[in-house]
Copies of this chain bind each other. A is one copy, B any other.
Amino acid sequence: MSDSLPTVGILGGTGKEGSGLALRWAKNGYSLIIGSRTPERAAQAAEDLRAKVPGVNVRGADNADTAREADIVILTVPHEAQLATLEGLKDQLKGKVLVDATARVDWRKPKPPEGKAAARMAQDLLGPDVRVVSAFQNIPASALVRPETKLESDVLVCSDDPEARAEVVRLAEGAGMDAYEAGGLDNGIVVEGLTALIIIMNKRYKSNACGIRMTGVVK
């Protein structure tokens, strides 16, 4: 990766969260590859993004090409599809940073997930040649898609690789978010659990954009 901005590949980039993130990076000058199981849907999502952000360098691809050709890869598929999606991408992801936004939470029946962090499962599956980072689980898609809205939710970034962690903090900041390093990959379970609490609070307080911000931190 050169000093210029990395090309961001988004696996499941046609979904709400993925396309919301893509919009934010596009607005900030990043090149993008929108990945999907269905290349036609990816191409359509790329076209939609170009309509919103004229001049953006974006194209659609299947998930395998997206993983192979991007400098840094974001996973935003539904949690049920997380491991199956990654299973087929081990070779393409070798040597890369994979940012896993998976939260194992059922929005219809939200509760904190138990056991390992989703991103730890991804790391176990992909092996040591891929540097997995957990991030973006809590960013409300409803806010992402309104690019004029300043994002009020902070990104907590967990990874066992300090360099990858710092890189993803910069990437989140590059999309206009505040981001903080929050330790090792296993800590992702807390951020996933927060996703459950945020869904519960959205219901309780009739919101669709609950989130959390850090306080008391000076970077």
Contacts and interface: CB of A to CB of B under 8 A. Distances in A.
Contacts of A7: none
A182 B199 CA distance: 9
Contact of A183 (B197, B215, B216): B197
Interface in A199-219: 200-201, 204-205, 207-219
A187 interface: yes
Interface residues of A, number: 38
A16 interface: no
Interface stretch (A25-33, A79-87, A188-196): A188-196
A208 B218 CA distance: 11
B218 A201 contact: no
B112 A186 contact: yes
Given A110-B183, A205-B217, 16 more contacts: A111-B184, A112-B187, A140-B216, A143-B216, A152-B215, A180-B205, A181-B204, A182-B197, A183-B201, A189-B193, A190-B190, A190-B194, A190-B197, A205-B219, A210-B215, A212-B214
19 contacts: A111-B186, A112-B186, A152-B216, A153-B216, A180-B201, A180-B205, A181-B201, A182-B200, A182-B204, A183-B197, A187-B193, A190-B193, A190-B194, A205-B218, A207-B218, A208-B216, A210-B215, A211-B215, A213-B215
The 7 closest A-B pairs by CB, nearest first: A190-B193, A209-B216, A152-B215, A183-B200, A211-B215, A210-B216, A212-B212
